[in-house]
Each structure stands twice: as C-alpha cells, then as structure tokens.
C-alpha cells in the first residue's frame, strides 16, 4: 500500500478504560516493585480470549481467525474537553532516516528519555522536527497528570506457620485519564458481543492482584483521528507482533525495531498452573518498512502432556500486528 499521494485521515475505534481501582501489570520481572504503565496487546488478547472461552462467546473464534485486531493499551489524558492520546515513541535508526550524525548524539539522548508521544506528533511529515519544536516550547508534561506509580508496603502471612514476610507492591493510580486501546473488526457482527465481553472483563479486572480488587474498570468508546502526512513511507507498530516466516525476510531491511521477551503462566482447567514457552516479539514503537499481519504462535509447554485430562491442550500467543502509516524520512 502506498501513501505517496495526498495526506488523508485515518480513524481508529478505541475503548478508553477508566480504572476504578489501582492497576498492577507486572513488568515481566520477579520484582513486585516493577510495573508496566501499559497493557501489552498479548495480555489483552489472552484476557479476552480466556473470558470468551468461559462465556462461550464467538469472540473466541474471531480472535483465533484474526478477525479482531487490538493495539496495546496506552495512556490518555482527559480533562474537560481537552484530550491527548499517547502513542509509543517511534524507535529510531538515524542512519536509515538520514539524519546528520553531528547532532544525532545529543538528539538521541533527548529522544531516549521519551516513552510516549502525543498522537498529533505523528501527523508531521518529519517526526524529529516536531519533537524539536515541542522540546523548545517545553509544553506541559501531561503524562505526569495522567497516572502515578505508588509503592505500597504489604505483609504476607503463612497460613500454616503464621510467619510473616514483608514486601513492597507497585501499583498504577490514574488521575486525569486512563488507558485506551484500538480495535479493528475484520468481520461483521462482532462489535456488540465484544462490548459485552469487555464489560465482563472490567468487572473481573485485568492484571495482577485481581483477588483484592485491582484492575477493575469501566469503558467508553471514542475514536483516535490521525492525519497521515503526505509521503508516509513507514509503518508504526502499535501492538506486540511476530511476523510470519514469509514476512520476516521482507521487513528486516530498513526497519528499526526492538524485541521484548514475553513469558508467563497459564491456568489449566484442572487448577494447575504451567509456564508458557517464552517468545521474543517485536515491541510497540517498532518502525517497519513494510506492513505485516503477524501470526499466532504456539507456546504450549512440553510438560502439558503430563496433564492429558486437561481441556486446554494447546496454548497460543496472539501476535497480530496493528500498524499505522507514518512519515519519518528527513528532508
């Protein structure tokens, strides 16, 4: 698909999550003090898929057939009529984008401090110029008003020995805003059931510490509008993704990306917990030269054969790509 003609507007259906309780999304670490401030797309897929299985919803098959595409959930700021939707900072390879190496080092240090950027920055035909303009003007840091991370003391008491252990737990508290994710429905007749499933998920909560009420939310529908610049020639990844074998050879050249290791546990219907196979995925913010679809990856642990009576005999990681066109070439 080419975007070399006139600029055009894209609209993405989004669901804004307003959290009623603190959120704990582990940052793939054994340390409870470390948390993510986003919900990765694979976590969203897994939460909705597992709930769809229990609710016997057709959303289960829709996810399996790649009829629903999700972005990761990113922060948004909202105060009255003012709204700012944040997106992952594009990952840069200055050599690819043709920037002057004499000042790339200093610029790179400033860019490294960024995690998210307002969606409006991507409407520029040159993201770097937009960054420099905003760096000079020093606009307010809306992210600081959106959420805060608090580390709270906790005590674990052993039910058998009554011994206690002190630990600290990090949680994300949202103030003026929350998290939002984008969705594409590639088949008709899915939206109403998706809304119902998302409401159930909001009641149950998402992330860790759900048994104590964490991660509960309400949602509101909205749209993310982005004016794609003329000459947009790259694709920004808004989800975690794993390219298919056919796609891999076509995107590595002239793409700029980071990988993230995803691992974790899943619960069998027997009550046993097993560790999924680990997998490396392309991270949100990766800038790809070509558009990809991604795929579903089998992460079933080898030890599952020991539980032959388990109903869920295969475990998949949904690594579908959700991308938008962006203009990043320097002129």
Provide the pLDDT for residue 5.
Answer: 47
Q: What whole-number distance in Å separates Cα of residue 41 and Cα of residue 73?
A: 7
Please give the residue range of the domain that contains residue 46: 8-233
pLDDT at 112: 76
What is the DSSP track for 128-187? Answer: HHHHHHHHHHT---HHHHHEEEEEEEEEEE-TTT--EEEEEEEEEEESSEEEEEEEEE-S
Q: Are the beta carbons of 191 and 198 closer than 8 angstroms?
A: no
Q: Is residue 29 part of a domain?
A: yes
142 within domain boundaries: yes
pLDDT at 2: 38
Instruction: Tell me if 282 sits within 8 A of 247, measured CB to CB.
Output: no
Q: Which are the contacts of 129, defined by CB distance < 8 A and separation ≥ 6?
A: none
Bridge partners (DSSP) of residue 156 are 165
Q: What is the pLDDT of residue 59?
A: 97
Q: How many domains does the chain have?
A: 1
Residue 305 belongs to a domain: no
Cβ–Cβ under 8 Å, residues 176 and 146: yes
Contact between 304 and 313 under an 8 Å Cβ cutoff? The reply is yes
Closest C-alpha to 88, from 330, 331, 326: 326
Q: Quick one: pLDDT at residue 3?
A: 43
Nearest to residue 280, comparing CAs of 303, 257, 254?
A: 257
CB 67 within 8 A of CB 187: yes
Has residue 314 been placed in a domain? no
Cβ atoms 60, 53 nearer than 8 A: yes
Judge whether 271 lies within some domain: no
Classify 242 as helix, strand or coil: coil
Residue 264 in domain: no
How far is Cα 152 from Cα 147, in angstroms, rounded to an integer?
A: 16
pLDDT averaged over consecutive 10-residue blocks of the chain (331 residues)? 60 96 73 78 95 94 97 95 92 67 65 85 76 64 82 63 66 91 97 97 86 85 91 90 90 88 72 77 94 92 61 79 82 50
Residues 132, 98: Cα–Cα separation, whole Å: 16
Please state whether 207 falls in left (phi above 0), alpha (psi between -120 and 50) or beta. left
Q: How far apart are the first and last CA of the chain?
A: 22
What pLDDT digit, counting tens, does each position of 153-205 carry? 665 556 667 666 655 668 888 989 999 999 999 999 999 999 999 999 999 99
DSSP secondary structure code for residue 4 in this structure: -
The pLDDT score that the predictor gives to residue 313 is 63
Residues 316/225, Cβ–Cβ less than 8 Å: no
| Structural domain contains residue 209 | yes
Residue 257 lies in a domain: no
């Amino acid at each position: 698909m080419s975007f070399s003609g006139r600029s055009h507007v894209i609209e993405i259906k989004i669901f804004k999550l307003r959290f009623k309780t603190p959120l704990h999304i582990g940052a793939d670490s054994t340390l409870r003090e470390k948390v993510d401030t986003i919900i990765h797309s694979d976590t969203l897929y897994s939460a909705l898929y597992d709930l769809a299985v229990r609710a016997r919803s057709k959303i289960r098959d829709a996810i399996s057939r790649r009829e629903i595409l999700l972005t990761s959930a990113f922060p948004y700021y909202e105060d009255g009529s003012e709204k700012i939707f944040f997106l992952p900072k594009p990952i840069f390879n200055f050599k690819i984008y043709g920037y002057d190496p004499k000042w790339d080092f200093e610029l790179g240090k400033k860019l490294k401090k960024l995690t998210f950027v307002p969606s409006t920055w991507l409407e520029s035909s040159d993201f770097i110029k937009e960054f420099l303009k905003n760096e000079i003007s020093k606009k307010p840091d809306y992210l600081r008003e959106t959420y805060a991370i608090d580390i709270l003391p906790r005590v674990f008491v052993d039910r058998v020995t009554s011994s206690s252990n002190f630990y600290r737990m990090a949680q994300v508290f949202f103030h003026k805003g929350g998290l939002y994710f984008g969705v594409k429905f590639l088949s008709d007749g899915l939206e109403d059931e998706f809304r119902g499933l998302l409401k159930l998920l909001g009641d149950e909560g998402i992330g860790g510490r759900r048994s104590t009420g964490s991660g509960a939310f309400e949602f509101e529908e909205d749209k993310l509008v982005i004016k794609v610049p003329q000459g947009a020639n790259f694709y920004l990844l808004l989800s975690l993704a794993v390219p298919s074998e056919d796609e891999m050879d076509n995107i590595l050249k002239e793409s700029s990306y980071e990988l993230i290791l995803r691992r974790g546990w899943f619960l069998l219907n027997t009550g046993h917990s097993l560790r999924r196979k680990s997998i490396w995925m392309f991270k949100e913010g990766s800038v790809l030269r070509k558009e990809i679809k991604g795929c579903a990856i089998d992460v079933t642990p080898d030890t599952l054969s020991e539980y032959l009576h388990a109903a869920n005999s295969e475990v998949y990681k949904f690594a579908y790509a959700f991308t938008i066109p962006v203009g990043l070439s320097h002129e």
